[in-house]
Structure 1
Amino acid sequence: MKNHNLEVETQVLGNCISSKDIFLKVLDKGIEPEDFYSTNNQKLFYSLIECFSMKGTTDIITFYYFLEKHEVQRTYATNILTETINFSDITPYLNELLNLRMVRERIKFAKDIQSGVISTDEEIQRRLESIDFIKSKVGNDNTITTLDKVKIVDIYTMEKIPTGFKEIDDKLLGFVTGSLSIITGYNANGKSTLINQMCIAESISRGYKVFAYSPELTNSNLKSWLYPTIADADHFITKFYNGNKYKALGNVGIKYIDNWIKDKLFIYTDDSITSSEKQLMQDMNRLAQQGVKVFIIDNLMKIELEDERKDKLTAQKKFVNNLKNFARKYAAIVHLVAHLKKPEKGESKISKFDIAGSGDITNLADYVISISRVSKEDRDKNPILKDSVIKVMKDRIKGNGEFAVTLSYDTTRKRFYSNNLELNKEYGYINNLELVQVEMGENL
């Protein structure tokens, strides 16, 4: 097991010598001489600390005196400087330094127990707390600032992806990048259709790449359900079954959407889909680095969470928090589908407290949205209701209270809509001004 990296140590020390600001950041991080594996590097870092505490500088000329005092050759520091690449953000190197220190401490801890050097419960606890303290520094910059250095956020100018529904976007304005949304609803109430339309089609039409994780659907199922949502009305054809007439998406439309979507929507192959939280997060990080901005996870219950057997609710909180940190890190939007608890008899209204699992699922989210089908009984009581109700139960970004909109549903187009503009919206998979003739027969 790798327990040190001299290249990382060189880059950290070189940046400390060449930049007082970076050296101060390293100190704020809580880096100590013992975090370095090389004895010479430990002495060099201690010399830097002593030089700065006594002289208020890391200037190389002043620093040389302290190097000699601790019996480190000047040429050693000079060679480090010549190999240094100056970074504006040294944090990843500091995190690696601390991670490697933890590896060394754990190895030493195991050996000391084996050899009998550690024999009491108190000493075991002390060593474990020491390792936990090192771990607490990873990812923590310990940075404190004042509000005069902070920019005011203007929700109206922030980067957002609209939902595509005017009545919702008039209030919500859209999903802000760097945010986490929770989407919920009972089975067969339209969650998948809403995701296809609001999260996939709308995002791709606005130039964003999307990753969709949906282990409950085969890729053929996903395609069969998504493509009609995307398709223009002109690309539906009439078909017959047992003498009955129905509309379906034709091959011309399928061919055009195939060509348009091939570099925009990413999914696992059917034989490689994972249920591992660790693997999923690794793949999401890789895709984010390749420019994917919208991530759909359908659904939370299909993922085998780390430490779930020990404490399911804590494992859910940790995973949702990781998703939120991921969204912020990459200025991405993460849509997580979460199931609802079994409803009380006769109860049909949904609140954010009805989501199954940890209460922190909704606490950590920026948006919480539900969809529910309108029953005949509901419509009899309230004739203005259409086919479905979408309720925004949380909007942390703009601060709206709960609000709901009622939408119609077209079974052929597989679209929710409140007006003809939404029903007939073109998502841009074909430019009608440059439409080419497609020599292709329809398979009826």
Structure 2
Amino acid sequence: MALYNLSAEQSVLGAILIDAKSMLVANQLNLSVYDFFHPQHQIIYNCMQKMYENGEKIDPVTISDELRNHDLLDKAGGVVYFKDLVTAVPSVSNVDYYAKIVKDFSMKRSGHEMLTSTSKNIKSMDKKSLITFSEDFKSMVLDNSNAEDLVVNASKVTTNVQRGGILTGFDGIDALLGGGMNFTTLTVLTGRPGAGKSTFLNQIIANALSQGFNAFLYSGELTYEMSMDWFTKTVANPQHLLRCTSTMGNYTEVSEEGIEMIKKWIDEKLFFFSKEAKADEANISHAIEYLATKKNVKLFILDNLMTLDFSGADKNEKQIHVVKSLKRLAKKYKIVIVLVAHSNKNSLTYKEPHVFEISGASEIANLADYVLKASREGKEPETEIIILKNRMTGSIRYKAKLTFDTPRKRFFTKTGNELKKDFGYMPSYEQASFD
């Protein structure tokens, strides 16, 4: 089947010849010279564009004269062809429909060319190349979208703002954030190494699962085994925690029964990023899109920014690009993304915690919806979570003091409720009736 529509191309050109205002409609739809399939139509439309930009009148006589001056009249079909174009137009008022048809076929031709080219080399393409191709194909479709698709009538937008999202499990923090970390948002968690960021995030993951939200973790520093060991200890209820002793001292393990229950609980609910995959923007974005659409994952933890692969580009520019991409994905799929970024060396010089002490590009803080800082001073097992930015409610400078419980591998506040939390991995049984 031919990937063009001759009548639609002729109708667009004919409408412009009858009423030059039709050129404005074509421009609003981002119609370009190369959207036309026939070379003579490309010549005519190119001439029309230049005359329109110069404020010149467009009709069969003026455009014939302009093309003749550039020795292009014969290639465009001659004077007779312009008469045919004018008579070919069913209705000038429908020029936007004709232009959309031309645009649609142009996009399909581009897609066909990309697919044809790729099919010739598909045997030699690896997974990364296929992902890159899919991103390029998507960009081509978006680049060929109509101007009409780029705007939304404000009167059609609902005023019912979605509130709430993923609760952290710490009541004071959740209240200040406006009901937890709202869906569609990007949170940046910063702090110096050893401040307790990973422990804090572990509890957020566990709390999300207890709420019925699936989760994803990318850890650039921990192995699968280390991540699972810490997670099971955080989640385990007291009856599944075993106190053990070795030459190194006392430590806690989770019983085999507890581990099996937890594994069954997180099956198809908690996902790790593959250690076999390169942790670059393309793979991370692809994993997020896959999990958001196919596995209904709502919480994505990326720990941390500095371990992502930024090779082949200016580091700061690449970081900004990655963070923008993450924010776009959060909005598109209505998910929560938490990105860990260490504090920079200058953070110690600030008298008060500041959003721009994040290591990396300064724009990261501007792009984030929330910026939280984990801070630990001295030898006491206490961590402060400080809200440095809160786009949702505006409440900032709030500090939550968290104490670390070594056996439970949990943070808890003054109320101690976090230590009593049952995340719900144990099966519940209903009492049988003897009636």
Q: What's the TM-score, normalizing by structure 1?
A: 0.66
| 1:243 CA displacement | 9.4
For 1:94 and 1:402, the matched residues in 2 are separated by 54
Structure 1 residue 312: Cα displacement:
2.1
1:389 pairs with 2:384: yes
Shift of 1:191: 1.0
- For residues 26 and 291 of structure 2, the distance between their equivalents in structure 1, rounded to whole angstroms, comes to 30
Q: Does 1:423 align with 2:419?
A: yes
Quote how far apart the aligned CAs of 1:145 are.
5.1
**1:253-279 superposed Cα distances (whole Å, 9 cap, x missing partner):** 111001111211111343x13222222
Give the one of 363, 367, 380 matched to 2:366. Answer: 363
**Partners of 2:40 and 2:428 in 1: CA distance:** 69
Percent identity of equivalent pairs: 30
For 2:345, which of 333, 339, 342 is the aligned residue?
Answer: 342
1:167-182 correspondence runs (5 A): 167-172=172-177, 173-182=179-188
CA spacing shift, 1:223–1:135, aligned 2, 3 Å? closer
1:307-326 to structure 2, matched below 5 A, reads 307-308=312-313, 311-326=314-329
User: 2:259 corresponds to which letter in structure 1?
Assistant: I
Q: 1:338 Cα shift?
A: 0.7
Q: Does 1:286 align with 2:290?
A: yes
Query: Partner of 1:405 in structure 2?
Result: 400
Worse-superposed segment, 27-36 or 414-423: 27-36
Letter in 2 for 1:30: N
Report the TM-score, using the length of structure 2 for normalisation: 0.67
Instruction: Find the counterpart in structure 2 of residue 354 from structure 1.
Output: 357
Is residue 219 from structure 1 mapped to residue 230 from structure 2 by the alignment?
no
Residue-by-residue CA offset, 1:356-413 (whole Å, 9 max, x unaligned): 111111100001111111325xx8xxxxxx7110001111012213211111111111
What is the 5 A alignment of 1:242-281? 242=247, 245-270=250-275, 272-281=276-285
Secondary structure in 2 matching 1:304: coil
Letter of the 2:427 partner, please give it: N
Q: Any gaps of 5 or more consecutive residues in structure 1?
A: 18-23, 47-65, 75-80, 82-90, 104-133, 380-385, 436-444
Distance (Å, rounded) in 1 between the aligned partners of 2:189 and 2:2: 46
Match of 1:375 in 2: 378
1:246, distance to aligned residue in structure 2 (A) = 4.0
**Which of 182, 191, 198 in structure 2 is aligned with 1:185?**
191
Give, in angstroms, the shift of residue 29 of structure 1. 4.0
Verify the 8 A CA contact 2:174 2:181 in the aligned structure 1: no
Q: CA, structure 1 residues 6+212, in 2 after alignment: closer, same or farther (shift >3 Å)?
A: farther
Change (3 A) 1:336 1:98: farther
Q: For 1:317, what is the secondary structure of its paired residue?
A: helix
Displacement of 1:288 in angstroms is 1.8
The structure having more radius of gyration, on CA atoms, is: 2
Q: Which residue of 2 aligns with 1:113?
A: none
Name the counterpart of 2:60. none
How far the C-alpha of 1:151 sits from its partner, in A, is 2.8
Alignment CA distance shift 1:350-1:160 (3 Å): same
Encode CA deviations 1:79-115: one digit per residue, 9 max, x unaligned. Answer: xx9xxxxxxxxx9x79955965998xxxxxxxxxxxx
Question: Is contact 1:276-1:304 (8 Å) kept?
Answer: yes
Instruction: Provide the rounded CA distance (Å) in 2 between the counterparts of 1:324 and 1:6.
Output: 40
Query: Who is 2:309 aligned against?
Result: 304
Distance 1:329 1:37 in 2: 34
**Residue 165 in 1 paired to residue 170 in 2?**
yes
Contact 1:211 1:266 in 2 (8 A): yes
Q: Deviations over 1:280-326 (max 9, x none)?
A: 22222222221222111111111123752xx3222211111111001
Q: In 2, distance between residues paired with 1:297 and 1:238? A: 32
CA distance in 1, matches of 2:220, 2:156: 45
1:229 Cα deviation from its structure 2 partner? 0.9
Give 1:231's aligned amino acid. A
CA distance in 2, matches of 1:348, 1:228: 36
Residues 141 and 315 (structure 1), Cα distance of their counterparts in 2 relative to 1, 3 Å cut: farther
Q: 1:212 to 1:188 in 2, by over 3 A?
A: same
Residue 385 of structure 2 contacts residue 401 of structure 2 at CA under 8 Å; is this kept in 1?
yes
Residue in structure 1 matched with residue 158 of structure 2 by the alignment? 151
For each residue in 1:220-247, what CA deviation from the matched residue of structure 2 results, as whole angstroms up to 9, or x when unmatched? Answer: 0111111111111221122222395543
8 Å Cα contact 1:295/1:333 also seen in 2: yes
Q: Any idea what SS the aligned residue of 1:338 has?
A: strand
Native 8 Å contact 2:305 2:339 kept in 1 = yes
The residue type equivalent to 2:305 in the other structure is L
> Using the alignment, how far apart are the partners of 1:191 and 1:212 within structure 2?
13
| 1:40 to partner: Cα distance | 11
Question: How far, CA to CA, are the matches of 1:94 and 1:28 in structure 2?
Answer: 17
Q: State the superposition RMSD in angstroms.
A: 4.4
**Does residue 203 of the first structure (1) align with residue 199 of the second (2)?**
no
1:328 paired residue number:
331
CA distance in 2, matches of 1:245, 1:136: 58
Q: Which residue of 2 aligns with 1:30?
A: 30
8 Å Cα contact 1:98/1:137 also seen in 2: no
Contact 1:180 1:365 in 2 (8 A): yes
